[in-house]
Chains A and B, each alone.
Chain A
Amino acid sequence: MQTAQTLSSRSAPPSRKRNVSFAWLGVVPFFLFAALFLILPSGILLVGAVQDKQGNFTLANFAGMFKGVSLGLVAAPSQANLLGLTFPLPFTVDFQSNSMINAYILSIQVSVVTAFLGGVIGFLLAYAAVLGGLPKFVRSALLTFSGVASYFSGVPLAFAFIATLGRLGFVTVLIRNIFGFDLYMTGFSVLSLLGLVLTYTYFQFPLMVLVITPALDGLKREWREASENLGASAFEYWRHVAFPIILPSLLGTMILLFGNSFGAVATAYALTGGNFQLATILIFRQIRGEVLQDPGLGYAVAVGMIVVMALSLGLYYWLQRRSERWLRR
């Protein structure tokens, strides 16, 4: 019986109507590929993350990631350090320096800052090119360059920034020769966190330009005229009309940029040689067998990254749905 079915499925052109449809056979290769090279690899990490060395089920690996963290929201005021800027916090959060969770915190900090920076820069550039009353060629040049720059990443990008902002870099030397001022005397280094942020932002902002330009194109002239007729100032028009319309796609793109930076490893590795304990660098070194004697802990860190990425993608879709619903009204 089963052989008969397999045979008929192989010989029957799927177009002809049968009692049982074999149309699904056409997508088998794709799903097989996805299972073998996307789902299975992630799945095996999840399995590894919930096993101890003997192969028994455990959640100790995830607990291990939080080892040394005392999230005792003590009412004592403290300061949070975000890329050199300090912010006052109303409570004390205490992280032990070797805790895995620190890698996440650093990764998330870098990703949030570069997503925000890239988002703002990209938005301002698109705004200037679309609504700034500049000649047409500026806009097409900007889009072309953004298209290229968004692919310029990884190892070559890191080299480019070392050649530009390194100790003997082009800009460093230029500033020294023109202004007689040494960037590196201020404590700046391209190999520092700030250097990493500047480098990441290079592949972040073009993406925002590419996404937000069509959205700005979609702002109808009539809306502005209507607001002006009703006595709105330019600021009020932006505050109450234009900005709310583009805000969801602005935020949505920033979330994509967040993930873009969160999963990045080649750029950071080539730039700093793995000095910074980003989550991706931690996994990089884990695969090499340099850190973490405990393999289960490595899997847990990897699974944690997948969770962060999945959450950010979910948030993105939620925002998109909201913006669509808003536009339909």
Chain B
Amino acid sequence: MKRIPLFPWILIFLGFLYFFLPLIGTLDFSLRLVKDQITLEAYKNVVTSARFQNTFTYSFIMALWTIVAATLLVTPTVYWVHLKLPHLRPIVEFITLLTYVVPAIILVFGLIRIYSRPPLSLLESEIGSDFLLVMGYVSLALPAMYRSVDAGLRAIDVRTLTEAAQSLGAGWRTILLDVIFPNLRVALLSGAFVTFAMVIGEFTIATFLARPAFGPYMANLGQTRPYESTALTIISLALTWACIGMMQLLGRGAQGQIAGTR
């Protein structure tokens, strides 16, 4: 009765072909800067270029700010909604879904229109533009962060933990920092990795806010330096891979990205 599942094997084979061929193609291309030779020259050119170092550092720092801001914004809110305002949950959930309804290109269109003129002319200063970029990224990261923290809080008994801490005389600072946060460590880390993977190479918002970020640099390089840009593709893919791999190590599984930074 037992037979070799030929049809499923063929499907999986074709699927993996679709998955791997572009990766192999990119890797192959990135190694051929010098004619008839396999070389890491393109990688060397990229990594040693000052533009790469500057834009990557910039995007890295912005990604960290995004993670900090998203964590500080989402965690207390979701905790509070769980504990005190369960009737607000649908509204909060709805807001996290707005990110899906308003794609990045539309969001940045609106942001420019509001924040490039008085009374809120944030875009006139560097720091204001950076702030706006981080806020835009927080919007993009909102659904992933929310889902992660919400799942984390569902897994623990928030009310009992809070009341136990209160009856032992803990203040709100202690409750949040010493009781709730440690229980959410895994959820927050996984949210952080997803956020990082999403925003490190983000193109649309960074372009229109005229930020010296990694995504626009990559797009720019693609027009003039094909080999270097594929090397960059491999580098950024390795980063994504590392982030998602860390997330899966943390045991949260992959959720997949919807909308966001396409």
Contact = CB atoms under 8 A, between A and B. Distances in A.
Say if A and B assemble together.
yes
Interface of A: 13-15, 23-24, 26-27, 29-31, 33-34, 36-45, 48, 121, 124-125, 127-129, 131-134, 138, 142-165, 169-171, 202-203, 205-207, 210-211, 256, 259-267, 269-270, 273, 280, 283-284, 286-287, 298, 302, 305-306, 309-310, 313
B101 interface: yes
A261 B258 CA distance: 10
Interface in B95-142: 95, 97-114, 135-136, 138-139
Contact of A44 (B7, B30, B113, B261): B113
Given A42-B98, A147-B248, A286-B109, 17 more contacts: A30-B77, A127-B8, A127-B11, A129-B12, A142-B12, A147-B255, A148-B254, A149-B19, A150-B257, A151-B197, A164-B29, A211-B256, A263-B103, A269-B219, A302-B106, A309-B102, A309-B103
B253 A163 contact: no
A148 B15 contact: no
B244 interface: yes
B201 A142 contact: no
20 contacts: A27-B85, A38-B139, A41-B109, A44-B113, A133-B5, A143-B253, A147-B248, A151-B244, A157-B22, A170-B25, A206-B256, A263-B104, A264-B262, A265-B262, A266-B202, A280-B103, A287-B208, A309-B101, A309-B102, A313-B97
B98 A146 contact: no
Interface residues of B, number: 91
Interface string B21-64: 11111101110000000000000000000000000000000000
B204 interface: yes
A156 B233 contact: yes
A141 to B, nearest CB: 8
Grouping DSSP codes into helix (H, G, I), strand (E, B) and loop, the B interface class, with mixed when no group exceeds half, is helix
B203 A266 contact: yes
B140 to A, nearest CB: 11
Contacts of B111: 37, 41
B49 to A, nearest CB: 17
A153 B105 contact: no
B154 interface: no
B68 interface: no
B159 to A, nearest CB: 12
Grouping DSSP codes into helix (H, G, I), strand (E, B) and loop, the A interface class, with mixed when no group exceeds half, is helix
Nearest to A35: B95
Nearest to A270: B219
Contacts of B204: 265-266, 284
Contacts of B76: 26, 29
B101 A313 contact: yes
B240 A27 contact: no
Nearest to A24: B85
Contact of A26 (B74, B77, B261): B77
Contacts of A205: 15, 18
B106 A305 contact: yes
